[in-house]
Every structure is written in C-alpha cells, then in structure tokens.
Amino acid sequence: MENLSVWADVEMPEFPAARGSIKADVLIVGGGIAGLLTAYELQKSGVSCVVAERRRICSGITGKTTAKITFQHGLIYRRILSDYGAEKAKMYLDANRNALKRYAELSRKIDCGFRKTDSFIYSRTNRAALESEMTALAKIGFTAELCKVDELPFQTVGAIKFKGQAVFEPLRFLRGIVDEMSDNVRIFEHTHIIELSGRTALSKRAKITADKIVIATHFPFINTHGSYFLKLYQSRSEVIALKNAPVLNGIYMDENTRGYSFRNLGELLIIGGEAHKTGEPCRRRELENFAGLAYPDAEVQYLWSAQDCMSLDGLPYIGNYSLLTPNMYVATGFNKWGMTTAMTAAEILRDKILGKPNPYAEVFNPSRSMMKKQLAVNGLSAAKNLFTPTVPRCPHLGCALKWNSTERSWDCPCHGSRFARDGKLLDNPANVDLDKP
C-alpha cells in the first residue's frame, strides 16, 4: 500500500517556481501550515510576504497529520509547572486555547469539516500520572474531568477529559486560507532555498531579498545559529485509517508516547501510534497487527507515516532564530501538536515582525536554557552515529544513515533527514540530495 495519507486526494492550488530577483517585506521559507498561517496573519496587516516552498505547498508534514486541534498535549501541564512554574503553564494553556478559538472563527467561512468534540488523554496502567496532571491543571485554574472510558478496544485506568476541543480536515482548511490571501502574498513552489546570505535567500533560479525571514521548514536547516541540531530530534509515528470500524464519541490519546491515538473522519477511524525515533526500525507492522486484532472486521483504507520534531523540554521554539539574528525567526519543535501550535506560531511571529508585544511569546522563546536531560541524549546519539564507519552519510552533518526497509528510504538517526532510494531528499534538515546512495 502506498504511503499516502487520508488527506492526499485534496487538490491544492498550484504556483510557479521563483525566478529572477524578488523583493518582499518578509520571506517565509516553508509552505506548510505554519508558514501559510504566518503569511495569512501578516498580509492582513499590510505586510508584503513571499512564501518559498521546496516542493508543493502542504506536501510535507502538514499532509501527514491526524489533524486534532487541542490544547490537551499529553500530560504537559505538570511538566511545565515543574520546570517553569504556574505562570508559564497558564501561558501555554491560554496560547493554545486561543489558537483553538481562532480555528473556530476561520472555519466558519471555510468548509473544512471542523467540528467540536471532547478530547481524552488516557492511561492503560498509570492512574497516578493522570492524578498528577489533574493537580497541575487545578493549580493553573483549569477545570478538567478525571473519568472512565469504555469505547476503546482495551482496558484503561482512566482518562482526563477536556471539553470542546476539535478536529478538521487540514488541507481543505489551508486551501481556503490560500484562496483568501490578498495580493500581498506571493507563493512560489518548487523553490528550494539552498543558501541564506544576510537578508537574501538563494535558490537555483531566484534571489529573494526581504527585510525579515521566517524559517518554517519543520526542522531548521541553518546550523550556524540556534543550535537546533542539538535542541531537536525527530520521531516517526505510524498511522492507519480503517473502514467498518466504530465511531467514537471523542478523540483519544495515550499518555504513553508509544501508545495509540484515535479519531474519526466520517466513516473512517484513524489510529496513530508506535512512535519511534527516526532512524530506528519502522513499526508499521506493529500498528497493522494492533488494528487487526482490535477491529478484525475493519478494512485498511490508508496507511502512512508522520514525522515530528521533538524539543528538549516538550515546548516548541517560536520566535527569533537566535539571539544574534534579530531579523530572522523560526517555528519548530511542535512535539506532535503541530495543528494547534502552528496557529500559535503564526500569531507570535506576526506580532514579533510588527514589533508588537505578544502575551504568550515568552514561554516559546527559542533561546531559553538548553540544560535538559534530553540534550545529553541528543548529543550522545549524534556522536555515536558520527563515528559509525558506514556509508552513505547524511550531507547535513555527516551522520551514518540507516536503511528503512519498510519505507525504502535512507534515514538519519541523528537529526531525522530522510532520502529516497535514489538519493532524493525527502525530509530535512539536510538541504541537498545524496551524492551516492
């Protein structure tokens, strides 16, 4: 079965490749949901934007999502409360709650299947973790419900319920967003930015100059600033869509990162899970086996993989690319919650570019402390693979690539770059093809 997501049949508008010399107020590198929403927010304020996408808009990670819009991001609030205190935990909640509200507003005029539903984080074994999260939520003034769930295909010890979250169809939504953009936004496809020099970005056929530059390429590809090669790793998850499976009364996510998520799309049940670091063995077969046992009468309609950037502390990096780059910005490290966080990123970046304060920007500051346990894990993993004497090597920073026999790709266990069998670049931060796959 092809690695196509359930959103693959949505036709997006086509745009030309950039050619010649182009000028704009803001260049946004990356035409996924974060880049397009940032352009949308800026153009409403009269800012001239150029969006440069390496392939087709929304053809990357945005088209592989399970499309949940929620501010219930696992058991995140107890973690933020412990690491940064109640003020920032409340800031994170309010930022993502505001994003959900914004999606609801925009979806009133875009036919994108937006619907409100309750969200549940469940546990199969660890009720104490749920109770700890409930305590954290109470400390920041948010009311949730610790409840039983009985419509999943296995027993749980309970779940935390957030009312009034949402699901939607992301490419239909973004098609509407693109249609609504004014002439202040110029979108270029098949425009691979291979170099940045000051305020100028170069592709093979174009030179784009802008006062400010936003890097919205999923994993940032500029290594000279920000240390994102240390602050991020990439995780792949497997996703399956089933026909003739139950219709659930909500969206469900396991508090265990290796567990399963569930949501319905019409007659289809979408299940995601089996997360593993990019470069480790693909776990698609394990998801297929689970789905077959849990829903033996269902038929597989779609089967695909998604990839996510994971930060050191579970919080995204949104803001200035580094302390030394006042006119360059970034949105990355969405930790599997890219739909809600992309809207948060668009509003924070809009305000930063316009020189306006944003009440939520501080908690997402990319220059916050890197002193987290995950930093050592990332560094040791990179060192191990740098000294592994195999070929081919990733052109990003030279790590040894691993062959993914399920997806038939070369995957980098250091930073998550992926390449097709013929060497064509599939996923960044690498910015060129392999010379000799």
Model confidence at 437, pLDDT cuts 50, 70, 90, reads low
pLDDT of res. 96? 98
Q: Which of 54, 25, 14 is nearest to 194 (CA)?
A: 54
State in words which class domain 373-427 has: mainly beta
pLDDT of res. 391? 75
For the cut 80, the answer to whether the pLDDT of residue 436 exceeds it is no
The least confident of 48-57, 172-181, 399-408 is: 399-408
Residue count of the chain, please give it: 437
CA atoms within 13 A on the CB side of 297: 3
List, in order, residues 6 or more apart from 58 with CB less than 8 Å away. 12, 31, 32, 33, 36, 170, 171, 174
For the cut 90, the answer to whether the pLDDT of residue 329 exceeds it is yes
Do residues 353 and 49 make contact, with C-beta atoms less than 8 angstroms apart? no
Beta strand pairing call for 328-332 and 206-215: parallel
Q: Percent of the chain beyond pLDDT 90?
A: 90
For the cut 80, the answer to whether the pLDDT of residue 400 exceeds it is yes
pLDDT of res. 384? 79
The per-residue pLDDT of the chain, averaged, comes to 95
The residue ranges of every structural domain in the chain are 20-65+171-230+314-364, 373-427
20-65+171-230+314-364 belongs to CATH 3.50.50.60: yes
Strand blocks (E) in 54-184:
68-69, 115-123, 145-147, 158-167
List, in order, residues 6 or more apart from 80 with CB less than 8 Å away. 88, 89, 92, 136, 314, 315, 363
Q: Percent of the chain beyond pLDDT 70?
A: 99
Reported as a single tens digit per residue, the pLDDT across 76-135 is 999 999 999 999 999 999 999 999 999 999 999 999 999 999 999 999 999 999 999 999
Q: Cα(first)–Cα(last) distance of the chain, in Å?
A: 24
Reported as a single tens digit per residue, the pLDDT across 157-215 is 999 999 999 999 999 999 999 999 988 999 999 999 999 999 999 999 999 999 999 99
pLDDT of res. 3? 75
Average pLDDT of the segment spanning 224-230: 94
DSSP for 168-209?
--HHHHHHHHHHH--TTEEEESS----EEETTEEE-SSEEEE
Amino acid at 432: V
Beta-bridged to residue 300, according to DSSP, are: 242
For the cut 90, the answer to whether the pLDDT of residue 283 exceeds it is yes
Reported as a single tens digit per residue, the pLDDT across 239-272 is 999 999 999 999 999 999 889 999 999 999 999 9
Strand (E) or helix (H) holding 345 = helix 338-354
Amino acid at 159: A
pLDDT of res. 51? 98
Reported as a single tens digit per residue, the pLDDT across 126-135 is 999 999 999 9
Reported as a single tens digit per residue, the pLDDT across 284-297 is 999 999 999 999 99
